[in-house]
Amino acid sequence: MNGVILHPPRSGRPRSCDGFLWEAVAGLSQPQKMLPCKFLYDEEGSRLFNEICELEEYYPTRTESQILRDNIAEITSLIGSECRLVEFGSGRSLKTRHLLAHLPTMAGYIPIDISGPQLLRSAVQLAGEFPGLEIDPVEADYAEITEIPDTKQKPRRTVAFFPGSTVGNFDPVAAIAFLRRIAFLCGSEGGLLIGVDRKKPKGILEPAYNDRKGVTAKFNLGILARANRELGADFDLSAFRHHAPYNETHGRIEMHLVSQRAQTAHLDSHAFRFEEGEYITTEYSYKYTLPGFAGLALRAGFELVRNWEDPNHLFSVLCLRVRDWRAGPKGVSAGFNGVPGKACEAWR
């Protein structure tokens, strides 16, 4: 392949699955049992998530792609030339293709994803489609990223791309901490292009996470299948049911795995008792108003430059500029779903 610059994946520290046993035991020991959502995204889970993105009821992916397409000239002119583009949770890099095809010159593209096989597949494919583009994939949990690889060509600026409303997986306090780290990593000329799912009626939100074909249910139950396969747990998959209600108070979709009867599941040397109707929380998906998210970004050291949205205000793509990268990554917790890294530390 002439002109293709593709570096082998670097492993972020720690690797995505190293902590599965420990984090699963810690999560299931909480008063409200939980499993961190990053463990949904193994190879099979990533495949199912891609399938979710194409569901009729799941509006975010296609709405965001349309927003990107409709405004691509303005978006890419705000990013400018010779940027180092870093994507957090790159998946198949489908949305990124719009950007790559329209950005004039680039220092390089750095996709970060927790699913190694998918990352490598899509990086190889991209390298073929964009010969001459430097691609430096990083296999890692993006929440654990502490440095971004240097590109051969010195970038004029670093721009983070965080699409899909994946920021919604963090609770708002953790989201501020994470965006602050992005500001720190991108530095003084840095930018952030981020997709944010907007608050909207339950009647639209809940079907998006409880689809009729049952793909989201399969995706959610997959985390128990993975625990059985990789950790030797004995979850009875037929005794848990997927349910994803919108919690109006917190402005978030909550993915639950509801125990259909009283039962006990075993993991390592631990026994976890479930009452009938008790559930495991596997993922939060926070929804934001525009002022709500702009305020959050401001506290993380970003200022809002531009908002693009669809005519129905379902979804926003925001362009933000680093105001204060010196705020630094302080207070960053690796915690998802309310299990902060610090609390875990204290348990050791």
Indicate whether 166 belongs to the interface with ligand AVJ (CB under 6 A): yes
Indicate whether 116 belongs to the interface with ligand AVJ (CB under 6 A): no
Binder to ligand AVJ among 9, 12, 60, 108 (CB under 6 A)?
Answer: 60
Q: Which residues contact 8 (CB under 8 A, 6 or more apart)?
A: none
For β-strands 246-247 and 134-135, DSSP reports them as: unpaired
Q: How far is CA 172 from CA 115, 176, 281, 287, in A?
A: 25, 6, 17, 10
Q: Which two tokens stand for residue 316?
A: 């926003």
Number of residues assigned to the chain: 348
Indicate whether 141 belongs to the interface with ligand AVJ (CB under 6 A): no
Q: Smallest distance, Å, CB 256 to ligand AVJ?
A: 12
Q: Smallest distance, Å, CB 67 to ligand AVJ?
A: 15
Q: Both ends of the chain: CA-CA distance in Å? A: 49
For β-strands 263-267 and 302-309, DSSP reports them as: unpaired
Indicate whether 209 belongs to the interface with ligand AVJ (CB under 6 A): yes
Residue 82, SS3 per DSSP: coil
Q: Hunting for tokens 């990083």 — which residue is that?
A: 138
Indicate whether 246 belongs to the interface with ligand AVJ (CB under 6 A): no
Site string for ligand AVJ, 272-311 (x = CB under 6 A): -----------x-x--------------------------
Q: Smallest distance, Å, CB 20 to ligand AVJ?
A: 19
Phi and psi angles of residue 198, each rounded to the nearest 5 degrees, phi first:
-90, 155
Binder to ligand AVJ among 16, 76, 216, 337 (CB under 6 A)?
Answer: 216
- Tell me the number of residues near ligand AVJ by CB under 6 A: 11
Applying CB under 6 A, the residues found at the interface with ligand AVJ are: 52, 60, 164-166, 168-169, 209, 216, 283, 285
